[in-house]
Amino acid sequence: DNLRAEEVNPIEDVFYAVAPTARLQSGWSRHALVIEGGARFLSHQDTSNEDVDTNFLRGTGRIDIGSRSNVSLTAGIAHEVEPRTNPDAPTSGDPVEYDRTDLAVSASHQFNRLHVTGSFGTRQFEYDNQAFRDNEQTSIRGRVDAELTPRAGPVLEATTDE
């Protein structure tokens, strides 16, 4: 079909995609551990300069502290591709490859009918051949859920990010 969605002189091609993934998940009654990874290989029959490979690896762990509290940690890395059609990209042309790193920690505690959660996370982007776009995002979040009845209650949530 029309590979680049061009009005004039469209490029026709056939592409093939393979996307294997794997996930390991604990089945413990307390605590939890999840490790997952995957990749996507996109190959074109005639226009190999459009071929892209992406991949990711992510892990999440939760430690239960008693029956009412827990602490979680999530970490991940990924190699991704921003498509040429992304309207938010500052430049157009070839697809842009970048690496993303994620790290987050959260804690929660149940006080009878009050549930309190706090988290801190950071995400880093490193673009290939576009270092001016490299950035790091940091967020802090707090949330309080109050149970007035089993079906209803107010929620107070605050988030800040940079």
Q: Is 42 within 8 Å of 51 (Cβ atoms)?
A: yes
Q: Which of 69, 6, 7, 59 is nearest to 33 (CA)?
A: 59
Q: How far is it, in rounded angstroms, from Cα 105 to Cα 74?
A: 6
Say what the pTM is: 0.79
Radius of gyration of the chain (CA): 22
Check residue 59 and give its pLDDT: 98
pLDDT for 2: 63
Ordered mean pLDDT values, 10 residues apiece, the chain (162 residues): 68 85 94 97 82 94 94 97 76 80 98 95 92 93 93 93 86
Cβ distance 19 to 42 under 8 Å? no
Gap between the Cα atoms of 43 and 29, Å rounded: 43
Kindly provide the residue ranges of all beta strands, DSSP E only, lying in 1-154, ordered along the sequence.
15-18, 21-25, 32-44, 52-65, 69-82, 96-111, 114-127, 135-146
Return the amino acid letter for 160.
T
d(CA 117, CA 47): 49
| pLDDT given at position 86 | 73
Q: Give the count of beta carbons closer than 10 Å to the beta carbon of residue 70.
A: 19
At residue 92, the pLDDT reads 59
